[in-house]
Structure 1
Amino acid sequence: MPRLLVTGGAGFIGSNFAHYVINNSDYDVIVVDKLTYAGNRASLADLPEDRLTFVRGDIADARLIDDLVGNVDIVVHYAAESHNDNSLDDPRPFLHTNLVGTFALLEAVRKYGKRLHHISTDEVYGDLAFDDPNRFTEATPYNPSSPYSSTKAGSDLLVRAWVRSFGVAATISNCSNNYGPYQHVEKFIPRQITNVLRGLRPRLYGEGRNVRDWIHADDHSSAVMTIIEKGRIGETYLIGADGEKDNKTVVELILTLMGRPPDAYDHVADRPGHDLRYAIDSTKLRTELGWRPSFSNFEHGLAATIEWYRKNEAWWAPAKGATEAFYARLGQ
């Protein structure tokens, strides 16, 4: 069977991709993950052992990555430090993983002539004004605003340089905010869901006017597979599902879906440098490659996500206490 190497495959989006690949293709999957706080081996526990191989390791370990890349057909690079609040608290791990790790991976795929797909974020483009009629496109200039988004922008530029300078067969995708199963409770949607499940009040930064363009992780996975199978080498594709919602609306919808009053949340101090609005124009992906999202109704996808967290407390509970202690230290 052909084999995919998925870096960061025990994290939120990577583990959803591993599930998607095994359930919808003939590829076997090798996951390499450092298992920092955001990686969870349990996120892969229900996948068949004859289709999934797990390797614990750091993508910045050049020798390990060389060994792994030499024995697969395609590399899909999800591994990243990805939480803005953490990047403001301590930027160093973001430089190590997002820049040094991506460099190690690029050198390995260059050496062995392997196909690479690099996963990035819409946050590299900065933010948009609330009343801006435009959305991010592949031609939008980079304008990152945090250590997280700036290191992801740097990793994108490394990939582009290795394509141009060394002929590496790579594509890039920049995706909007994901939601769905297996997302760490530090993130916005699962934090609010698990607060309600624990009898705590959700927390909303500032006035909650910040807008994000939400996409279910399954739709992200299907888009990545479409790019791997049909995308043009050297190209960047933006992935989005037309899911713009402000944070206030999302919190109130979570409360309503969970049978609570929609105003049963607290406002906390806003995050420094908090981007105003993200919005993805995925026309290129849809017209050139024929991709379409399955979860076009955000409320339905959110309801399914709430139900997953309700049924899987054993998965998220171990991280909940430390997460809330971190936010308490920040006054949030």
Structure 2
Amino acid sequence: MTPKVFLTGGTGYIGGSVLHTIVTAHPEYDVTVLLRKVPGAFSSTYPKVKIVQGDYDSFDVLAEEASKADIVVHNGNSDHEPSLSAIITGLLKRSSPGFLLHLSGTGIVSDWADPTYLGKLNPKIWSDIDDLGEISSLPEHALHRNTEKMLNATIADHSDKVNIAIMCPPDIYGRGRGRGLAKTWSAFVPFFVKESMGLGGKVFYYGEGMNTRSWVHIDDLMIVYLKVVEAAAAGGGGFGWGKEGYYFAGTQEVSHIEVAKASGKILKKHGVIKDEEPVQVSTEQLDAMMKLPRFPKLARYMFASNSRTRPHRAEKLFGYKGTAPTLLESLEEDIMQAVKSL
């Protein structure tokens, strides 16, 4: 039977790439996508994809479409509780168990809130097999903790009715697959370039600059997504769901000082800055960056924290490893696109 897939966030960087990946690999799937605004060329690009209009606050629309879908792939705002609640409500109305792939992120294991390792290398490396107990009991300030708690509660109460996979990618790089109909680039590089310009054209680091994060190319991330979607379409057998349904996707680690040094060379090469050498910023300078009312210390997370993870589940299930160019190999294209957008 042809699986019915309902996808949200279809014009986002990840969601647009997931949509394109699914439709390209499996044109036989019955795919419906939630769109707040429909890009002009969307229907001609994806003529078989059904469109329902709404946003993450369209509770009834989300619940109705989830109830009709065999597989829901929920992208976009990882922290948005009403949309997740609506999708779970809809899936629980199904006569047979459905599948949910929810986008979270390794920000949940970032050490940004603890000054101990800001700007320093944290030796802790998180496993999506060995550390699930610790991940499920992280403190309330952990990013994405609110929605992961909702998912964990659903797993505890309704594992017989909903099969859940928490997709937890690290920082992502590379051009998205949305064919110009979706956001094409990830967040880290544009933010770093923008803040460097705000420092008078100086790439920067905090502390020792040895804080280290996991990374994945968008193309490699799509391998994980497609494998999990295909497993759901086949009934879920052999893959992890519920308590075992946690998927990291990092393929490499890079320290912030490595990113800063490589960025400085690229920006100088293209005449954007004059001095390629990174400068050390103070705590006050760091905290003055990227001010958001709901996340006043966002720059600590972006530029000074550690978030080191290993995709042990994907490695075990299907021999997952990175095949795309590395971050440092791809950085020039990402940086120059960020410069252009400024």
Question: TM class by shorter-chain length?
Answer: 0.7 to 0.9
For 1:175, the equivalent position in structure 2 comes to 169
Match of 1:61 among 53, 58, 63: 58
* 8 Å contact kept, 2:169–2:250: no
Displacement of 1:195 after TM fit? 7.2
1:277 — aligned with what? 306
Give matches, 1:126-141, under 5 Å: 126-127=110-111, 130-132=121-123, 134-140=125-131, 141=134
Instruction: Give 1:76 deviation, angstroms.
Output: 0.7
> CA 1:246–1:34 in structure 2 vs 1: closer, same or farther (change >3 Å)?
farther
**Alignment match of 1:262 (pick from 276, 292, 297):** 276
Superposition deviation, residue 147 in structure 1: 6.6
Secondary structure in 1 aligned to 2:127? Answer: coil
CA RMSD between the two structures: 3.6
Question: What letter matches 1:242 in structure 2?
Answer: T
Matches of 1:55 and 1:205 in 2, distance apart? Answer: 44
Distance 1:202 1:148, change over 3 A: farther
Q: Deviation digits for residues 109-150 of structure 1, max 9, x if unmatched?
A: 121243222222222234395242543333421325647433
Structure 2 unmatched runs, 5+: 177-182, 232-238, 288-295
Alignment of 1:137-176 (within 5 A): 137-140=128-131, 141-142=134-135, 143-144=138-139, 146=141, 148-164=143-159, 166-176=160-170
How does 1:106-121 map onto structure 2 within 5 Å? 106-112=88-94, 113=96, 114-121=98-105
Q: In the aligned structure 2, how far is the partner of 1:48 from the partner of 1:109?
A: 29
- The separation in 2 between residues aligned to 1:202 and 1:29, in whole angstroms, is 46
Question: TM-score, normalized by length of structure 2?
Answer: 0.70
Question: For 1:234-313, what aligned pairs fall within 5 Å after superposition?
Answer: 234=242, 235-258=244-267, 259=269, 261-263=275-277, 267=281, 268-270=285-287, 272=297, 274-275=300-301, 276-295=305-324, 297-306=326-335
Instruction: Establish whether residue 105 from structure 1 lines up as the match of residue 87 from structure 2.
Output: yes
- Give the Cα separation in 2 of the matches to 1:306 and 1:47: 31
Match for 1:251: what amino acid?
Answer: A
Shift of 1:75: 0.8
Q: State the 1:299 CA deviation.
A: 1.9
Residue 199 (structure 1) shift: 12
Shift in alpha-carbon separation, 1:126–1:197, aligned structure 2, 3 A: closer
Task: Report the 3-state secondary structure (helix = DSSP H, G, I; strand = E; otherwise coil) of the residue aligned with 1:269.
Answer: helix
Provide the secondary structure at the position in 2 that maps to 1:169.
strand
Question: Offset at 1:20?
Answer: 2.0
| Distance 1:277-1:217 versus aligned 2 partners, 3 A rule | same
Once the two structures are TM-superposed, the CA of residue 298 in structure 1 deviates from its matched residue by 2.1
Shift of 1:277: 1.1
Contact 1:226 1:291 in 2 (8 A): no
- The residue identity in structure 1 corresponding to 2:85 is F
CA distance in 2, matches of 1:302, 1:6: 30
> Which amino acid in structure 1 is aligned with residue 46 of structure 2?
E
Q: Deviations over 1:88-129 (max 9, x none)?
A: xxxxxx4xx2x2221110111121243222222222234395
Name which of 74, 77, 82 aligns with 1:80.
77
2:93 is paired with a residue whose SS is helix
Deviations 1:29-51 (A, max 9, x none): 4322457xxxxx66985971313
Distance 1:74-1:189 versus aligned 2 partners, 3 A rule: same
The equivalent of 1:15 in structure 2 is 16
SS of the residue corresponding to residue 83 of structure 2 reads helix
1:21 positional shift: 1.9
TM-score using structure 1 length:
0.72
* Distance in 2 (alpha carbons) for counterparts of 1:199 and 1:45: 39
Aligned to 2:234: none
